[in-house]
Structure 1
Amino acid sequence: MSVVFWIIIGLVAGAVAHRVLNSRGGFLGSLVVGLVGALVGGELAHLFRLNVTGGMLDQLVISTLGAILFLFVWKKVFG
């Protein structure tokens, strides 16, 4: 996958996570949350042995769920 693809997925996942949890985050914040969420979601999918084919929609869903989980935990720990 290209770097541009991961940036786009990260931005979308981060923006959705910020919207779902009603938090603030600009361009860079959404990108970081989305990329960390992709790592978290990917590890959880691997841990639970989910059959993810690697398509764009699969990666977007996994990244978004991981970003929501990451942002939720971040807000609970750091206020």
Structure 2
Amino acid sequence: MSILAWIVLGLIAGFIGSKIVNNSGQGLIVDILLGIVGAVVGGFLFNQFGQPGVSGVNLYSLLVAVVGAVIVLWLYHALVGRRRVL
């Protein structure tokens, strides 16, 4: 899959994932980066369970990317939330 397709899929997955995990995003760049990482994580996890991962820009790949983005965003919030000391 091309870099542009990963970015588009990551953008959409990051936006949807941030709305699932919390109501406010972390910012456009962070959402895109975490969405792209989430797409990779989702593809890896689905491959480990014998399912096809991200195969192109389609609805199934978006679902896989969103699942990965939710996992990555949840971990991100868990780690960043613990660092804040006020």
Amino acid at match of 1:47: Q
Tell me how large the CA RMSD over aligned residues is: 1.7
Q: 2:78 aligns with which of 68, 76, 79?
A: 76
Alpha-carbon distance in structure 1 between the residues aligned to 2:63 and 2:26: 20
TM-score between the two structures when normalised by the length of structure 1: 0.86
Q: 1:66 aligns with which of 65, 68, 80?
A: 68
Name the % identity. 34
- TM alignment of 1:10-29, pairs within 5 A: 10-22=10-22, 23-29=24-30
Task: Kindly tell me the number of residue pairs found equivalent between the two proteins.
Answer: 79
User: Aligned in 2, Cα 1:44/1:53: closer, same or farther, shift over 3 Å?
Assistant: closer
Q: By how many angstroms is 1:52 displaced?
A: 4.9
State which drifts further: 15-24 or 39-48: 15-24
State which drifts further: 57-66 or 45-54: 45-54
Q: In structure 2, what is the equivalent of residue 45 of structure 1?
A: 46
- Confirm or deny: 8 A CA contact 2:43 2:65 kept in the other structure: yes
Rg larger in structure: 2
User: Aligned in 2, Cα 1:57/1:32: closer, same or farther, shift over 3 Å?
Assistant: same
For residues 26-47 of structure 1, give each alpha carbon's deviation from its aligned partner in whole angstroms, at most 9, with x where no partner exists. Answer: 2211110110101110110011
